[in-house]
Structure 1
Amino acid sequence: MIDLHMHSTASDGTDTPKEIITKCRKLGLKLSAITDHDTMDSQPEAISTAKELKVRYLAGVEFSVRHTGELHILGYGMDTENKELIALMDDLRGSRVERVHEIIRVVQEHGMKIDFEDVERCAKGNTLGRPHVALALIEKGYASDLQDAFTRYLNEEGSCYVQRRKLNPQQAIEMILKTGGIPVLAHPKFVRTDDIEMLTAELKRIGLGGIEAYYPAHSNADVERYLGIAKRHGLLVTEGSDYHGAMRSYAAIACEKRTGPYLDESIKILTEKYAI
C-alpha cells in the first residue's frame, strides 16, 4: 500500500505530520507523502518522523493554480531547504493570513461574532487556514462540526468563501522542477476542461511528470482513461487518498487500494529517485 496525497494541520487537515506518518507506519505503507496546500511547513516534522520510524517518504506539496475551476499540481521530492522555495512559501503563507482576515470580515458581515484572536487560538500555532476559522465558528455555536462549517460558510459554494491567491500552472511546475522535484496533475476528474488529454499534453510541454490516476473519486473507467493518457505522453502515475483527517472521515489513509503494473513501475521510479 502507498498514499501520496495527504494533508496535515499545516494546511487543512486535522492530524499533525507526526500523527500521519505514525499511522502510515502502523498500516505498513511502502511509500507515503504529505502534500499540504501551498505550504511545506509540515515537511521537517514529517521527514524526521519518517526517518525515525523507517518509513519511505516523499517530501510533498499541493499547489492550487489558476485555471477555470479547480486545478491542483502535486510536487514530490523537492529540496525543502531551497531558498527560493522557502521565499515562495513564506509569500504564500502571508497571503493565507490575509485570506483569513478577509474571511473573518465576511463572516462578521453575516452577523457572526468571531475575530482573528479566536481563529489564532484554534490554530494552536499551526499555519492559519480555513479549518481554524471553522473551529472558531463551531466554538461560537455557528456550526455543528467541521463539515457543517465548510458546507455552509467556507467551501466555494459557502456564503463566506474567499478566493485565495494562486500561482499559474507554469509557475508551480517550474518551481517544482527547479527544486529537484517532479510535478504531478492531481485528481484529473475534478479538472474543468473539455479535453483533459489536450490539457495534460500542454502541461507536459512545460514539465509535468505524472498524473494521479488512482484516486477514490475515480471510477475504474476513469483510472483506465488516465492510465492511457499517462502512457501515451510518457508520464508516471500516482495514487492517493486525499486524506484530511476528521475533515473528510470518508477518505482514510491508503483507502485507495487499486493497483497495476504501470503504477508499480511508476512508484519504483519515484522511490528510487525521490524518496527519503
Structure 2
Amino acid sequence: MRIDLHTHSTASDGTDTPAELVLNAAAAGLDVMALTDHDTVGGHAEAIAALPEGLTLVTGAELSCRLDGVSLHMLAYLFDPAEPELARERELVRDDRVPRARGMVAKLQELGVPVTWEQVARIAGDGSVGRPHVASALVELGVVESVSDAFTPDWLADGGRAYIQKHELDPFEAIRLVKAAGGVTVFAHPRAVKRGEVVPEDAIARLAEAGLDGIEVDHMDHDAATRDRLRGTAADLGLLATGSSDYHGSRKTCVLGEYTTDPEIYGEITRRATGAFPVPGTGGHPRA
C-alpha cells in the first residue's frame, strides 16, 4: 500500500486542481493520499467528487503556525471542518494572506522588481494566495530561476528583504483546536533548514507533551542523516513518523509518492481521528 499524506492543489499553492490531483495520484500508483492545502479545506469537495475507484482520500489542511518567532507548519488530518473555533482560526489566517501578499509585492517594487499585484493574483487564481505565488511571479519575470530560489534572504525567506509576516497560530493552540475537532496533528518537515530558520528540536518534545501525534520524517527537505535522527526522536517521544511528498504540481520538483507513510502508521492516524473518516473512491476513473 502506497500512502502520501501531504499534497497541495490550486485551493492553495499547488498547480493541479483538486480533481486533477486525485487523478494524478491514482495514475502515480497511490492507494491513499491526503489533501492538505494551506489553511483551507476549499478543495475537498472537488477532490471527493472526482475521486477514482481504488484511491482513498484523507481530508486535511496544513496550518500556518509560529513558535518563538519561527514559522512552522502543522498538518491536521481528519478533523471536523465545520467545528467553529478551528474554522474561525483558519479564516483569520486566510484573510491575512491577501494584505500580506500585497505588502510583499510593494516591497519587491521598492527593490526594483517590476512585479504587480495583478500578476500575483492571476497566478493564485481562486487559491489561497501565498509566498509561492509571489515566487512564481519572480520566476516569470526572470528574477530567479525557480520557486525555491525565491525563498532566500534576498527575496522571500523568513526575514528576507521582501518578507512580511502573516497571522499564524500558536502551535500548542493549533494542537488543541485540531484535537477538539476530532483530528490528528503531525509537525510538517520540522528540520527543513533550506527554507530558513527552524524551531529547536527540544520544541518537538514540548509539542509532544501538548498532544502532538507525529512528525513528518521522510521529506524531500530532510537528508538521510536528518531522517535517521528524526526517526529516533519520534521513537523516543512516542510520536508517529510519517513520510510524504509535499507535492505542489509543477511549482516544485517533488513528485507524488516520492516519500510515503507506513500503512501501520496510517492505520493509527485513522484510529485516533474522530472528526472525519477517510473517503474511499468510487468514481468512474479507473487506474491506468
TM-score, scaled relative to structure 1: 0.84
Q: For the Cα contact (< 8 Å) 1:2–1:31, is it kept in 2?
A: yes
Q: For the Cα contact (< 8 Å) 1:47–1:59, is it kept in 2?
A: no
Q: Offset at 1:115?
A: 3.6
Matched, 1:201 2:205: yes
1:247 to 1:118, Cα distance in 2 relative to 1, 3 A: closer
Residues 189-224 of structure 1: per-residue CA shift (max 9 Å, x gap): 237355x2x322211221101121222333444333
Q: For the Cα contact (< 8 Å) 1:43–1:80, is it kept in 2?
A: no
Could you tell me which residue of structure 2 aligns to residue 240 of structure 1?
A: 244
Q: Secondary structure at the match of 1:71?
A: strand
Could you tell me which residue of structure 2 aligns to residue 88 of structure 1?
A: 89
| Counterparts of 1:148 and 1:6, CA distance in 2 | 21
| Counterparts of 2:74 and 2:93, CA distance in 1 | 15
Residues 18-38 of structure 1: per-residue CA shift (max 9 Å, x gap): 222111111221221122222
Query: Which segment is superposed worse, 174-183 or 217-226?
Result: 217-226
1:148 to 1:190, Cα distance in 2 relative to 1, 3 A: closer
Could you tell me which residue of structure 1 aligns to residue 256 of structure 2?
A: 253
> How many residues of Structure 1 are paired with residues of Structure 2 in the alignment?
268
**RMSD value, Cα:** 2.6
Q: For the Cα contact (< 8 Å) 2:31–2:54, is it kept in 1?
A: no
Q: Offset at 1:105?
A: 1.7
Q: Secondary structure at the match of 1:73?
A: strand
Could you tell me which residue of structure 1 aligns to residue 49 of structure 2?
A: 48
Could you tell me which residue of structure 1 aligns to residue 61 of structure 2?
A: 61
Letter in 2 for 1:61: A
Q: For the Cα contact (< 8 Å) 1:31–1:271, is it kept in 2?
A: no
Q: Secondary structure at the match of 2:259?
A: coil
Residues 139-187 of structure 1: per-residue CA shift (max 9 Å, x gap): 5565565455555533336532222221111121112111111011112
Q: For the Cα contact (< 8 Å) 2:101–2:134, is it kept in 1?
A: yes
Q: Secondary structure at the match of 1:20?
A: helix
| Counterparts of 1:193 and 1:148, CA distance in 2 | 22
TM-score, scaled relative to structure 2: 0.81
Note the 1:71-110 alignment, pairs <5 A.
71-110=72-111
Give the share of equivalent positions with the same residue, in percent. 38
Q: For the Cα contact (< 8 Å) 2:15–2:249, is it kept in 1?
A: yes
| Counterparts of 2:244 and 2:26, CA distance in 1 | 16
Which of residues 158, 168, 171 in structure 2 aligns to 1:169?
A: 171
Letter in 1 for 2:181: T
1:106 to 1:201, Cα distance in 2 relative to 1, 3 A: same
Q: For the Cα contact (< 8 Å) 1:71–1:190, is it kept in 2?
A: no
Letter in 2 for 1:92: V
Q: Which has the higher contact order (CA 8 A, sep 6+)?
A: 2
The structure where helix makes up a greater share of residues is: 1
Could you tell me which residue of structure 2 aligns to residue 183 of structure 1?
A: 185
Structure 1, unpaired ranges of 5+: none
Residues 53-76 of structure 1: per-residue CA shift (max 9 Å, x gap): 442121111122112534221111
| Counterparts of 1:74 and 1:199, CA distance in 2 | 16
1:228 to 1:121, Cα distance in 2 relative to 1, 3 A: closer
Structure 2, unpaired ranges of 5+: 280-288
1:49 to 1:62, Cα distance in 2 relative to 1, 3 A: same
Q: For the Cα contact (< 8 Å) 1:4–1:240, is it kept in 2?
A: yes
Note the 1:219-234 alignment, pairs <5 A.
219-234=223-238
Q: For the Cα contact (< 8 Å) 2:13–2:124, is it kept in 1?
A: no
Q: For the Cα contact (< 8 Å) 2:66–2:170, is it kept in 1?
A: yes
1:83 to 1:53, Cα distance in 2 relative to 1, 3 A: farther
1:106 to 1:27, Cα distance in 2 relative to 1, 3 A: same
Q: For the Cα contact (< 8 Å) 2:14–2:247, is it kept in 1?
A: yes
